[in-house]
Structure 1
Amino acid sequence: MMDDDRLRAVTACEFCGTVAEFGAEFGAGLEAVGVPPAGDVALCAACRGDAPAGEGHWRCLEGAAWSDVPAVQLAVWRKLGTLDAPWAVEARENMVLEGAVLGWTEVLAGVVHRDSNGAVLAQGDTVVLIKDLVVKGANFTAKRGTAVRGIALVADNAAQIEGRVEGQRIVILTEFVKKR
Structure 2
Amino acid sequence: MSELLKQLEERSGNACELCGATDSLEQKVHLDVYEVPDSPKNVKDTSILACETCRTQLEDESLVDPNHWRALNDSMWSPVPAVQVVVYRMLDQLRPHGWPVDLIDMMYMEEDTKQWAEDGIQRGPKIIHKDVNGNILQRGDSIVLIKDLDVKGAGFTAKRGTPVRNITLVYDNAGQVEGRVNGINIVILTEYVKKTSKDE
* Bucket of the pairwise TM-score, normalised by the shorter protein: 0.5 to 0.7
CA distance in 2, matches of 1:120, 1:136: 26
| SS of the residue 1:175 aligns to | helix
Given the alignment of the two structures, is residue 169 of structure 1 paired with residue 185 of structure 2, yes or no? yes
**Secondary structure of the structure 2 residue equivalent to 1:96:** helix
Cα distance in 1 for partners of 2:143, 2:31 equals: 44
Distance in 2, Cα, partners of 1:60 & 1:134: 44
Q: Say whether the 8 Å CA contact 2:164–2:179 is kept in structure 1.
A: yes
Separation of aligned partners in 2, 1:135 and 1:162: 12
Alignment of 1:72-83 (within 5 A): 72=83, 75-83=86-94
Aligned CA RMSD, in angstroms, stands at 4.3
Among 42, 55, 68, the alignment partner of 2:50 is: 42
Q: For the Cα contact (< 8 Å) 1:93–1:155, is it kept in 2?
A: no
Instruction: Determine if contact 2:17/2:75 at 8 Å carries over to the other structure.
Output: no
Higher helix share: 2
SS in 1 for 2:77: helix
* Paired position in structure 1 for 2:17: 14
1:117-128 matches, cutoff 5 A: 117-128=133-144
Structure 2 distance, partners of 1:86, 1:159, is 30
CA 1:41–1:171 in structure 2 vs 1: closer, same or farther (change >3 Å)?
farther
Q: Is the 8 Å Cα contact of residues 13 and 44 (structure 1) preserved in structure 2?
A: no
Q: Answer yes or no: is 1:105 the counterpart of 2:108.
A: no
In terms of mean alpha carbon deviation, does 2-11 or 42-51 score higher? 42-51
Q: How many residues get paired?
A: 166
Q: Distance in 2 between matches of 1:105 and 1:53?
A: 18
CA distance in 2, matches of 1:94, 1:140: 27
Q: Letter of the aligned partner of 1:63 in structure 2?
A: W
Q: CA deviation at 1:153?
A: 2.6
Give 1:142 deviation, angstroms.
1.4
Change (3 A) 1:79 1:33: farther
Question: Structure 1 residues 75, 162: CA separation in 2 closer, same or farther (over 3 Å shift)?
Answer: same
1:42 & 1:131 partners in 2: Cα distance? 48
Secondary structure of residue in 2 paired with 1:88: helix
Question: 2:141 corresponds to which letter in structure 1?
Answer: D
User: Residue 79 of structure 1: CA displacement?
Assistant: 0.8
Is residue 35–residue 74 contact of structure 1 (8 Å, CA) maintained in 2?
no
Q: Report the CA distance shift for 1:177/1:132 in structure 2 as closer, same or farther (over 3 A).
A: same
Matched, 1:67 2:84: no
- 1:30 Cα offset (Å): 7.3
Comparing 29-38 with 138-147, which one deviates more in the overlay? 29-38
Unaligned runs of 5+ in 1: none
C-alpha separation in 1, matches of 2:105 and 2:194: 29
TM-score, with structure 1 as normaliser: 0.62
